[in-house]
Chain A
Amino acid sequence: DGGITQSPKYLFRKEGQNVTLSCEQNLNHDAMYWYRQDPGQGLRLIYYSQIVNDFQKGDIAEGYSVSREKKESFPLTVTSAQKNPTAFYLCATDSGVSPLHFGNGTRLTVT
């Protein structure tokens, strides 16, 4: 999607390494979210941020960390503490008056 850019599209890491997934938006939306998708489980919320320099844990925050230093950017770090990091990660934004708008995802494979 042109408004939300997730990079890279595919990411491979060795077990025990931290890895950071990028999410950049030019929609001027205040709120940003990270979801994790596994087959047959729908989307689960990892972290979200409703304003710069503030963020909240979602339902499955353990093993992940985020920062929100700029309105446009909400990077997600998958740490070595995450026990099952291989998944499809989706970043999303909203303006508070419109539904969630998603990026095209990053597929992370950890071996």
Chain B
Amino acid sequence: GQQLNQSPQSMFIQEGEDVSMNCTSSSIFNTWLWYKQDPGEGPVLLIALYKAGELTSNGRLTAQFGITRKDSFLNISASIPSDVGIYFCAGDGTSYGKLTFGQGTILTVHP
């Protein structure tokens, strides 16, 4: 099946620093999604990308759908302590029906 490789697996940063994480796929996706999960909670959608090359922002978050349709990145600018959590990329080849998820990036922000 489709596989997503998400990196880095974990990041330890100081408050105020910028963060970048990315996902690559062995196959083409029609949609890229980025979710954040707080401890003990369900993932919450941050950004959805629907077109190759699309660059979308949501506050301090910016994500891009790669031109090749096989990759995506998420940037967080000026990190704050509440950015702590696990960030997942997810891709969908045909419909929303069966998303493929990356392994997640664990973000720790030191005050």
Contacts and interface: CB of A to CB of B under 8 A. Distances in A.
Contacts of A44: 101
A90 B95 CA distance: 20
Given A59-B1, A99-B48, A48 B98 contact: yes
Interface residues of B, number: 25
Contact of B104 (A40, A104, A107): A40
A106 B102 CA distance: 21
Interface in A45-85: 45, 48, 50, 58-59
Contact of A31 (B42, B90, B97): B97
A103 B41 CA distance: 8
B96 A94 contact: yes
In terms of DSSP, what is the predominant structure of the interface of chain B?
loop
Contacts of B103: 40-42
A33 to B, nearest CB: 8
B27 interface: no
B33 interface: yes
Interface in B1-51: 1, 4, 6, 9, 31, 33, 35, 40-45, 48
A98 interface: yes
Nearest to A98: B96
Contacts of B41: 104-105
B99 interface: yes
B33 A99 contact: yes
Contacts of B42: 1, 4, 6, 90, 92, 102-105
21 contacts: A1-B42, A40-B9, A40-B103, A41-B103, A42-B6, A42-B101, A43-B43, A43-B88, A48-B98, A50-B97, A59-B1, A90-B43, A94-B97, A97-B96, A99-B45, A100-B96, A100-B99, A102-B43, A104-B40, A105-B42, A107-B40
Interface of B: 1, 4, 6, 9, 31, 33, 35, 40-45, 48, 88, 90, 95-99, 101-104
